[in-house]
A = this chain, B = another copy of it.
Amino acid sequence: MSTMGNSTNIFWQESPIGKLERQKLLNQKGCVVWITGLSGSGKSTLACSLSRELYTRGKLSYILDGDNLRHGLNKDLGFKADDRTENIRRVGEVAKLFADTGLICIASLISPYRKDRDACRAMLPDANFIEARLLEDGLHEHVRQEIQKAFTSLHVLERLKIFSPYLDLISLHSRSYIQPGFTGIDDPYEPPLNCEIEIQQKDGDCPTPGAMAGEVVSYLEEKGWDVYQQASGSNM
């Protein structure tokens, strides 16, 4: 009998078709690849590229995109610390379900707080949660600095009470992009301490989408996820 949540009479329903049966049908193993990093670091690019790479190998994946989920499952949540935590928790719970179906779930979210990512990791069996951190590249750092400057200037202008229709327009436009709680600007990003994969630029060059996906595919293959194996036979 469960003592979780708000009820004491909710029993677990066991299905006769479990993860093993589904994995057999799919000819693959379910897991979560959790992509974390600042805005503009290439999370969506990697997620899409990885999904394509896996597809060409006959492997079924699904992208849980943090931004997309804010249009649906998480549309009731904002960007304050508590809401971000709940946002990540829900994505973690859904990612767990996806891994349980046998799919390779690619979660792509800034997920700035270490404790939130670690809570998602703890939901899954060991090795089934693969954290891939994207280090921001030079371009991103440049963009970040410009955003920081604009942010500061707008604050100064507001304090000086200098407004004109032109400035209002800039302010409005910028604010739709630079809102309070923008990770990396006025909200911290806590990098992973021991993530499975870290993707960064080499010799100042950003890796191509294919190269980034290749790093993840290599990791998966190395750890026995058989993602190089082509679909074959009647099970795939």
Contacts and interface: CB of A to CB of B under 8 A. Distances in A.
Interface of A: 1-2, 4-13, 15-17, 21-22, 25-26, 44, 47-48, 51-52, 55, 58, 60-65, 67-68, 70-79, 83, 86, 90, 93-94, 96-98, 100-103, 108, 123, 176-177, 179, 231-236
A232 B17 CA distance: 20
Q: How many copies does the complex hold?
A: 2
Contacts of A96: 72
A71 B2 contact: yes
Residue in A9, A15, A58, A108 whose Cβ sees the most chain B Cβ within 10 Å: A15
Given A5-B75, A52-B17, A179-B7, A102 B60 contact: yes
A213 to B, nearest CB: 11
A127 to B, nearest CB: 20
